[in-house]
Amino acid sequence: MTATPMPTAPSPAIEAVALRKDFGEIHAVDGIDMSLSPGRIYGLLGPNGSGKTTLIRLLTGLASATSGSVKVLGVAMPSRSNLARIGYMTQSDGIYPELSVWENLSFFATLYGQTDKAKLHATLELVELDTRAGTPAQDLSGGMRRRLSMACALAHHPSVIFLDEPTVGVDPALRVQFWDHFHRLAADGATLLVSSHVMDEADRCDELLFIRDGHVLAQGTPAELRTRAGTQNLETAFLSFATQPRAGSAASATPGQPKESHR
């Protein structure tokens, strides 16, 4: 009788090995390892200055690492050809102020080969800018510019999506719609890495990575992290992990063993 082969685990959508980025004496990303499966929403949570944006720029290939390696969809980054399968919404609005809403969206979509006007109109409807298609971006409110930035990042239907603080300046009702759409994208197989410093968004993610001072403090589902920290509050859980000695640091070295220098 022939044994039924065991199903193989899907290849990681995002991988990083010993990833490091130094700015002089500042270790913005300090030896991060990660392996993120496809079709899930990962929340990258930490305070401002914890290394979230630098990490995303390394993962997208927009910044060069001091050491370590990155793969997205199995392709070593940076890779110009692989960018067609990646969406990236920056923390600052990456749009052209003189161009209209429609011109911005069309421009970025065309760069990735997306010219289907019906799909572009649907993207504008998602961010509730379909009635402002002819408005110059510079005449939009801050929240509307954030919505347009998101539309430009999603227009080509990427397989991996990096969203850096996507809901800053977005009203609560539209924030709910955004997260509903994120979950639909993940259900269709896309992988999303969403950075935030707002802990009340954490429960909307399938899995969380707590980051501080360039290190991943802990990774797991919201429920797992609560259990490990012994609290029902994710903000308290973050603080608990942040105060624990890091493996390999001077504070956690075994007595009688050489201690590593503590940065």
- Domain ranges across the chain: 14-91+158-244
**CATH 3.30.70.360: does it fit domain 14-91+158-244?**
no
Please give the torsion angle defined by the CA atoms of residues 83, 86, 92 and 97, in that order, rounded to the nearest 10 degrees: 70
| Cβ atoms of residues 195 and 47 within 8 Å | no
- For residue 223, what pLDDT is reported? 95
| Cβ atoms of residues 52 and 195 within 8 Å | yes
- For residue 261, what pLDDT is reported? 36
* Strand, helix or coil for residue 31: strand
Average pLDDT per run of 10 along the chain, which is 263 residues long? 63 96 95 96 93 96 96 95 92 90 95 89 90 96 89 93 88 86 94 89 94 95 95 93 70 38 35
- For residue 2, what pLDDT is reported? 58
Phi, psi (degrees; rounded to nearest 5) at 74: 80, 0
- For residue 177, what pLDDT is reported? 86
User: β-strand 14-23 against 67-72: which pairing, if any?
Assistant: antiparallel
- For residue 159, what pLDDT is reported? 96
Is the peptide bond preceding residue 47 cis, with omega within 30 degrees of 0?
A: no
Please state, in angstroms and rounded to a whole number, the distance separating the CA atoms of residues 71 and 88: 16
- For residue 173, what pLDDT is reported? 84
- For residue 76, what pLDDT is reported? 96
- For residue 131, what pLDDT is reported? 95
The stretches of 127-247 forming alpha helices (DSSP H) are 142-154, 172-187, 222-229, 234-242
